[in-house]
Structure 1
Amino acid sequence: MSELLILYLQNNQLSGEIPSSIGNCSKLQELFLNVNHIQGTLPETLNNLHDIVYLGFANNDLRGTIPLGSGSCKNLFLLDLSYNLFSGGIPSSLGNCSGLTEFSAVSSGLTGSIPSSIGLLRKLSLLWLPVNHLSGKIPPEIGNCKSLTQLHLYSNQLEGEIPSELGELSELQDLELFSNHLTGEIPLSVWKIQSLEYILVYNNSLSGELPLEMTELNHLKNISLFNNHFSGVIPQTLGIRSRLLQLDFTDNKFTGNIPPNLCSGKKLTLLNLGLNQLQGSIPPDVGRCTTLKRLILKENNFTGPLPDFEYNPNLTFMDISGNNINGSIPPSLGNCSNVTDLILSNNNLEGHIPPELGHLANLKTLHLAHNHLEGPLPHELSKCTKMDSFDVGSNFLNGPFPPSLRSWMVLTTLILRENRFHGGIPDFLSEFNKLSELQLGGNMLGGKIPGSLGVLQNLRYGLNLSANGLIGEIPPEMGKLSNLLTLDLSGNNLTGSIRVLADLSSLLKVNVSYNSFDGPVPKMLMKLLNSDPSSFLGNPGLCVSCLSSNRSDCNQSSHLKLCDDRLTNQKGLSKVQVAMIALGSSIFFVLLLLGVVYMCVCGRKPKQGVQISDKEGTSSLLNKVMEATANLSDRFIIGKGAHGVVYKASVDPGQVFAVKKLAFSGNKGKSKSMVREIQTAGKIRHRNLVKLEDFWLRKDFGLILYTYMPNGSLHEVLHEKRPPPSLEWNVRYKIAIGIAHGLAYLHYDCDPPIVHRDIKPKNILIDSDMEPHIADFGIAKLLDQSSVSASSMSVRGTVGYIAPENAYSTANNRESDVYSYGVVLLELITRKKAVDPSFMEGVDVVVWVRALWDGTKDVHKIADSSLAGQFLDSNVLEQATKVLLVALKCTEKDPRVRPTMRDVIKLLEDANPRTRSKKLPSSSFLIRS
């Protein structure tokens, strides 16, 4: 064995420990044990291998400390310890390995600080130590490693300032320090390293201004500084001599102008300067950059006109909203033939919408709201047949809605409000059968409401026809809008009864104020009348009928007169009959008064819950709920979250509810959150979605009543119950596919789709049969989203579950839910939290699992250790591996390559051959109420 020179056993399914006798192979030069199942520790006898050149132990289960360096290791050229489970830090003795050229310990569990002895490795060209628990400061001695070309220290817990000595690394090409706790400025010496190609320092607390010296970095390809505190002016000569591909300065404090020649190299693919304080005009060369794919300049202080755009087949996304851009929309934008999203809202744009935008055959989103645009809508837009969302609200546009635009057959959102459109509400709007939101308020349309609107069965988020000078009655066909959640008919000249609205049981908000409606308010609308009385004002003929409503409704509705029910129903009675009825009523009132006195003097002790209920006119069910929880006493609390407090209410034997309370006082956001949750949960029925039993809205708080889930949330089942409950693989699979069915229903069977926006284990409740139920729709994408404030729309979910593309965008799509679902799948498999305490700073379960999988392709190293026994069954192991692959597909960074939830269901069912002939119910399975 002493003559053995090379031992190459990579990827051989080896297990057990490395024997200490390996040190007897004194002539050994290359030892490769990568990608196995080797456990235990590295033997000290490795230091006896004086001729060793290559040591590879990556992707194993090695633990303990790293003993290398205490012997003669001057010939060691490469050392790879990545993807193991070491404890302790990097030994200072490693500095004795003076010939070391590559040292890699990615995601190896390392702790402690980086030893200064690293500086003794003068030949080191590659130092990879990311995704560990390394802390302390970056040692300045690294500057002695003059041959270093790649320095990866990202996703650790490093702090302090970047040492200026790094500027002595004259051959450095790749500097990646992102996701640490670094502070201070990037040293000027670093900006002078001419070989730099990548500077990735995002997600730190770095500050300072960018020096002119950075403009001399001719090889620079990617500079990502986002989510720091950089300030000052971006050097105006940046980009002239560089080869920049990506520049991302989002969410800093930069001021001044965009460099005029930033895109002169015509290689730039990403330019993201959003969320800064930049000003001035957008340079012309931005429009001439034909390689640009994404242009994001939103929420700055830019002025001046938009630049002209050359033919650019690569540009797909442009967001310049929230600035002070003036002038007209350049017709040259029509040259960007592959643009799918064009967002220019909240600027000072004027003039006409150019007909050249009709050349954008792939356009799906066109948002031009809150500008000063005028004139008619160009009929050329009819060529944009993929149009999904069209928002030109709050402009000065006029004319009728062009009949040619009926080609928008996939349109889901049409917002024309606050303009000067006229010519009546066109009948052909009924052809937009996918329309979920129609906002026409604040125009001069006139005429009657066409009955054809009643065929828009997918109208859900809102129908606004207010302030349009409309006349006539509400057509009976409007009663067919069975999914409509909000309706605004205010400020018109409408007449007749509002009885037709009684058929719209889905309504959560209605405004019929300031018309000429008469007759009684339908019983179904009384709850809405009591929660928002102002929505019924200005209709002298409206009244409340006490024959069709309970007495508490009549008492609360003092702002509307009482209907004369007796005279209405006794028309034609003689004076004697009327007098007898009046006398009988008086006698009844006296008897009722005597009864009340008797109860007060001799009756039972009043219960506080009943008093509250009587005061607020609530139902008998709420009375029972208040009694069962001792008026929402703290001892009945079973959960608290960002959107409310949850109580357990055992009303009757076998009848248990969960009661969610949201306090509104001083917080309009919670009120909106509750409305969204009711809008989502109130109508949908699916076995994997929580069932809303009832709700009550009050001035300062609201209550939502759900079916109680005895096993709590998935988060509790996975992470909080002590001792941890046994969770067999078949149960985890059942939960996984149940959640997938619930999400698929929201995404596709609620056409237009509902995006949950906060999928996580805390929002998944588990019933007694371990069936999952998606809950908490507090930030679901519902209602009139265009009216939601920027601050409220910034809520995108929970850290650890937010899709990467939503770090800088508030547009949550189905792909965002798919990503969050993938994170939940990983939690089910690993039983680790999304941001687990065992992970180093900046690492979540997605990064951790992907790193282990890429290195080992072994589900044993990733899955919850309690599943090891079940994995002896090859079928279970195969299924778990396939489910893991589904999770990795769902959590891809690029949302375009993620599967849909329908695809996920098929992949999960295909992962279990034994259930293919006996599949779970499809995502479209509804529980009929």
Structure 2
Amino acid sequence: MSFSSFFLFLKLPFLFVVLQMGAAVLGQISNEALALLALKTSINDPGGHLENWVQQQQGGNGGVSTSPCTWTGITCNSNMTSVISLNLSTMNLSGSVSGDLGNLPNLLNISLDCNNFTGELPPQILSLSALQYFNISNNNFSNPFFSNFSQLQNLQVLDCYNNNFSGPLPGDLWRIPTLQHLSLAGNYFTGVIPLEYGSFQSLTYLGLNGNNLVGPIPSELGQLQELQQLYLGYFNNYSSGIPVSLGNLTNLVRLDLGSCGLTGALPVELGNLRNLDSLFLQLNNLTGPVPAVIGNLLNLKSLDLSYNNFSGEIPAALIYLQKLELLSLMSNQFEGPIPSFLGNLPNLQVLYLWQNHLTGNIPPTLGENMNLTHVDLSSNLLNGTIPINLCIGQNLQWLILDQNNLTGPIPDSIGNCQSLSKLRLGYNSLNGSIPLGLLGLPNISMAEFKSNQITGPIPSEIIDSPLLEFLDFSDNQLSNELPESIGNLPSLQQFYISGNEFNGSIPPQICDMLRLNILDLSDNRFSGSIPPEIANCKNLGLLDLSQNDLTGQIPPEIEYIPDLYLLNLSHNDLSGQIPPQLQLLQTLSIIDFSYNNLSGKIPQFSSYNISAFAGNPYLCGGLLQSCAAVGGGAAAGASSSSHGRSRGSSNLLAWLVGALFSAAFLVLLIGVCWYLRKSHCNASKYCQRQSTTRPWKLTAFQRLDFTASQVLDCLTEDNIIGRGGAGTVYKGVMPSGSIVAVKRLAGEGKGASHDHGFSAEIQTLGKIRHRNIVRLLGFCSNHETNLLVYEYMPNGSLGELLHNKERSQNLDWETRYNIAVQAAHGLCYLHHDCSPLIVHRDVKSNNILLDSSFQAHVADFGLAKLFQDSGKSESMSSIAGSYGYIAPEYAYTLKVNEKSDIYSFGVVLLELLTGKRPIEAEYGDGIDIVQWVRRKIQTKDGVLEVLDPRMGGVGVPLQEVMLVLRVALLCSSDLPIERPTMRDVVQMLTDLPHSNLCPILTM
């Protein structure tokens, strides 16, 4: 044997070992690829993110390459021999997660967050002993949590935020020695916080907020020496105060205990948390003064103590918090002056002090730090003048000072505040003139000065604010002519100047504001004629020119304002006829022509009250005296001359002949219809047979265990559980035992072959997946009738429970509050997370259904509309919705957007608070629940009177109730611009100022 052959012989075992190792490596990565492909089969991927998860042919030899290291979301180790990371975050995936995940033994990271996964987590995950990072937040996983998750001894991050986990909190997670980040927030965990949660060795983040936890906060949590962030609030309802032991968490940076039922005083031990930068204690029942140790928190940037019962003066120790950026003390019982040192805090940006009992002047130094962005000092007892330096840094965006006792002029500096977007100074005693430049600010969207003593003209020099939508100068002492340059506000939608002393003519340029939908010039001294250019206001819904000195005739061009709902021209000196063209305005339903010099015949308006024409002795027809009684020439100003009497007699004779002819024709028409109906009846059974033979089609939006014929079997009188204008609802028990609700849509029958976009919109609604929206399982159609199949809600509707004396006992405050928040989340999803966004158009208590656990689900999308652009209104052909819930602007403009839903939701909140219907006899004629509540809450006793005593009496957290009441009144504001978005509503109801809600918390 040669030396080379001998050497080769020695190398053979080594080569054999290498080949074996290579085969093992290839086998491992191949098996992991197969595991991923198997995992993919259980996942729905509408966006095609996982399209490159396929077996690819290798060139030449026809083999198969199964290496997944280049697949989307997959990361392998450095030598490409094993998968170590699976990252499928934010891919809009759905379906389930299969146990094939357990065949990736070297996984260090699993990120499935921000998708729509459902079902149970596979137990094979527990075999991934190397796993360090596990994030499944913002999905719909629903199984009880694993009690033996502590097997993952290398786990560092466990994030399960915003799923459907329930049951008690897992008690043995503390046994994972490496765990640093634990978030179980936003689920449905119940019971108490385990005492063992004070035994984590390495924990820096603990999030248990947004569950249904009860009992006291364990003092053992004070042992978590490494903890930096602690979130325990929101939906939880603890039975004690803040544990003093939390003062031991000296590494704590953020402490959030908002909205969780805390009582008692603020522990002085919290003054030990010197690293704290955020302290959120809002929406609790904390009492007493704020202790001076608050001044020890030298690193504090955000302090929110709002919606509590803190009393005394604003603590002087806040002067030491030089890093403070947000200070929110709103809705407490603070009294005394606003400390002057607040104006010297160098980093202060947001100052919310509204709804306290503060007195004295606004500190003149406020704003001098150059950083102030939001100031709300409204609803206090402040006096003195507005400081001149509030906007010296040109960062001020909101200045809200309404409902105080402020005096003096509006500073000229406000007219130079280029950053200002919202200005509210109403209901004070301000005087002087409007600052020059105020109506030329580039960012201002709202300016409200109602009920002050402002004098002088509206300055004409600069009127070109491009974003101004709302302008209210009503009930002041403004005078002079309205400048022609008022038309240079292209975005203005609502313009109120009633109750002033404006004179001269109405400038035709006023309708250069093409988006204007409310124009109120009433109770002034305008003279001259109404300009025919008023017809250029194509979007106008309300036009009020009453109580002026207008003369001339009513311009017939008003007929070209297609959405006009309210027209008030009363108490002027107008003459001539009411233009008959106005009767063509289908939307015009509120009119007032009283107390003018109008004459002639009243047009045939669809509805009106006789008082709308009072004070015009020469008007006739309709409900007034006949035109013959005032002379046939009244329309032309003729008196009772013989010629006029003759013409009136001949007109009367002609009218009688015409009436007789019409009556004869009507009798003939009825006879013909009767004959046709009789002959048609002979074929009715045949037609009915033809209809019933049309095939039914069941379109399913998920896997169903029943057929269309089984759905049809439910449509019997005995199964009816509800009737409404939109259709009849039946309860259906399927052969498998599952229960559904079947809604047969109203207004259908033979020949209804055109669905006007119904199928397309139902397809969109069928894809909605949200825990607070009733799930549409599918729909049946035979081209003549449509049946919607929903999941069944055993507790019926909120309206039924609220207004049924026996069943309403189930609705204590906690249940009502949860229903409010859950319904808000559902609407928030429709408005902000659906594409295109969905406007419901029929939000009411009867369309909020409750499951077996009284969880709220928004239902009935029979009137829903899909919108491509948020904030854009769409004209409807008629008013849709339910009486008492319809937003004012929808009623008079027939234009709808998401703000219409928000008004309706505000009415629902008032129903929850009062237990009353939107319309009740006790409110008085023409008064609805919104107006009734507004009147009653003017006094403290009135506030208590409006609350439903069935909520639980003494045990009801009044501050929490007051928050919901305030949100309800904001939502039901008459002005759409003042209503919050549904995202804001969710934020206010849960009050998480440091987060982006709907629905994701920032970590």
Does TM, scored on the shorter chain, surpass 0.5? yes
Give the match's secondary structure for 2:206: strand
Unaligned runs of 5+ in 1: 550-556, 593-633, 642-646, 657-684, 691-708, 724-734, 747-753, 786-791, 824-833, 856-929
The CA deviation at 1:329 is: 0.1
Q: 1:508 to 1:68 in 2, by over 3 A?
A: same
Mapped partners of 2:168, 2:722: distance in 1: 48
Q: What is the aligned partner in structure 1 of residue 220 from structure 2?
A: 141
Mapped partners of 2:204, 2:579: distance in 1: 79
Deviations 1:784-827 (A, max 9, x none): 99xxxxxx989747679x99x9799557998999965999xxxx
Q: 1:710 to 1:652 in 2, by over 3 A?
A: closer
Q: What is the aligned partner in structure 1 of residue 160 from structure 2?
A: 82
Deviations 1:2-49 (A, max 9, x none): xx9x99733167954499999xx9xx9x965554999656589889x8
Q: What is the aligned partner in structure 1 of residue 613 from structure 2?
A: 536
Deviations 1:862-884 (A, max 9, x none): xxxxxxxxxxxxxxxxxxxxxxx
The CA deviation at 1:219 is: 0.8
**Matching residue's letter, 1:539:** N
The CA deviation at 1:524 is: 1.7
Q: 1:427 to 1:103 in 2, by over 3 A?
A: closer
Mapped partners of 1:722, 1:156: distance in 2: 21
Q: 1:234 to 1:470 in 2, by over 3 A?
A: same
Alignment of 1:488 with 2:568, yes or no, is yes
Point out the more displaced range, 88-97 or 424-433. Answer: 88-97
Contact preservation (8 Å) 1:106, 1:129: yes
Q: What is the aligned partner in structure 1 of residue 265 from structure 2?
A: 185
Q: 1:275 aligns with which of 355, 373, 376?
A: 355
Q: What is the aligned partner in structure 2 of residue 434 from structure 1?
A: 515
Mapped partners of 1:766, 1:721: distance in 2: 24
Contact preservation (8 Å) 2:523, 2:546: yes
Deviations 1:589-648 (A, max 9, x none): 9xx9xxxxxxxxxxxxxxxxxxxxxxxxxxxxxxxxxxxxxxxxx99842799xxxxx99
Give the match's secondary structure for 1:80: strand
Report which of the two structures shows the higher radius of gyration computed on alpha carbons: 2
Q: 1:442 to 1:245 in 2, by over 3 A?
A: same
Give the match's secondary structure for 2:455: strand
Residues 299-448 of structure 1 mapped to structure 2, 5 A cutoff: 299-309=379-389, 310-357=391-438, 360-448=441-529
Deviations 1:220-267 (A, max 9, x none): 111223344444432144244331122223333433332322242332
Give the match's secondary structure for 1:321: coil
Q: 1:563 aligns with which of 620, 627, 630?
A: 627
The CA deviation at 1:354 is: 1.7
Mapped partners of 1:58, 1:503: distance in 2: 59
Q: What is the aligned partner in structure 2 of residue 888 from structure 1?
A: none
Q: 1:324 to 1:686 in 2, by over 3 A?
A: farther
Q: 1:442 to 1:119 in 2, by over 3 A?
A: same
Contact preservation (8 Å) 2:271, 2:293: yes
Mapped partners of 1:847, 1:8: distance in 2: 34
Q: What is the aligned partner in structure 1 of residue 597 from structure 2?
A: 516
The CA deviation at 1:421 is: 0.9
Q: What is the aligned partner in structure 2 of residue 265 from structure 1?
A: 345
Q: 1:477 to 1:755 in 2, by over 3 A?
A: farther
**Matching residue's letter, 2:377:** L
Q: What is the aligned partner in structure 1 of residue 276 from structure 2?
A: 196
The CA deviation at 1:480 is: 3.0
**Matching residue's letter, 1:434:** R
**Matching residue's letter, 1:78:** Q
Q: 1:97 to 1:820 in 2, by over 3 A?
A: closer
Alignment of 1:764 with 2:842, yes or no, is no
Deviations 1:94-136 (A, max 9, x none): 5556776544434565433111122334654332333444332
**Matching residue's letter, 2:451:** H
The CA deviation at 1:392 is: 0.8
Q: What is the aligned partner in structure 2 of residue 728 from structure 1?
A: none
Mapped partners of 1:272, 1:453: distance in 2: 42
The CA deviation at 1:395 is: 0.5
Contact preservation (8 Å) 2:340, 2:363: yes
Q: What is the aligned partner in structure 2 of residue 781 from structure 1?
A: 889
Give the match's secondary structure for 1:141: helix
**Matching residue's letter, 1:564:** A
Point out the more displaced range, 252-261 or 304-313. Answer: 252-261
Mapped partners of 1:758, 1:816: distance in 2: 26
Higher relative contact order (CA 8 A, sep 6+): 1
Give the match's secondary structure for 2:262: strand
Contact preservation (8 Å) 2:886, 2:903: no
Contact preservation (8 Å) 1:18, 1:40: no
Mapped partners of 1:339, 1:208: distance in 2: 36
Residues 712-751 of structure 1 mapped to structure 2, 5 A cutoff: 717=790, 720=793
Q: 1:224 aligns with which of 280, 292, 304?
A: 304
Residues 61-76 of structure 1 mapped to structure 2, 5 A cutoff: 63-68=143-148
Point out the more displaced range, 502-511 or 38-47. Answer: 38-47
**Matching residue's letter, 1:82:** C
The CA deviation at 1:295 is: 1.9
Contact preservation (8 Å) 1:57, 1:80: yes
Give the match's secondary structure for 1:287: coil
**Matching residue's letter, 2:325:** L
Contact preservation (8 Å) 1:758, 1:797: no
TM-score by length of 1: 0.61
Alignment of 1:233 with 2:313, yes or no, is yes
Q: 1:492 to 1:88 in 2, by over 3 A?
A: closer
Identity, % of aligned pairs?
26
Q: What is the aligned partner in structure 1 of residue 198 from structure 2?
A: 119
Contact preservation (8 Å) 1:764, 1:774: no
Q: 1:736 to 1:339 in 2, by over 3 A?
A: closer
Contact preservation (8 Å) 1:362, 1:386: yes
Contact preservation (8 Å) 1:742, 1:774: no
Q: 1:300 to 1:711 in 2, by over 3 A?
A: farther
Mapped partners of 2:979, 2:383: distance in 1: 36
Deviations 1:247-300 (A, max 9, x none): 223333433332322242332222222333333222123232421222222222
Give the match's secondary structure for 2:463: helix
Mapped partners of 1:212, 1:822: distance in 2: 33
Contact preservation (8 Å) 1:181, 1:204: yes
Q: 1:280 to 1:441 in 2, by over 3 A?
A: same
Contact preservation (8 Å) 1:757, 1:796: no
Q: What is the aligned partner in structure 2 of residue 105 from structure 1?
A: 184
The CA deviation at 1:756 is: 13
Q: 1:152 aligns with which of 216, 231, 238?
A: 231
The CA deviation at 1:342 is: 1.7
**Matching residue's letter, 1:146:** Q
**Matching residue's letter, 1:488:** N
Number of residue pairs the alignment of both structures matches: 679
Q: What is the aligned partner in structure 2 of residue 638 from structure 1?
A: 724
Deviations 1:401-440 (A, max 9, x none): 1234343243332222111111122233243333222211
Give the match's secondary structure for 1:288: coil
Contact preservation (8 Å) 1:77, 1:102: no
Contact preservation (8 Å) 1:447, 1:470: yes
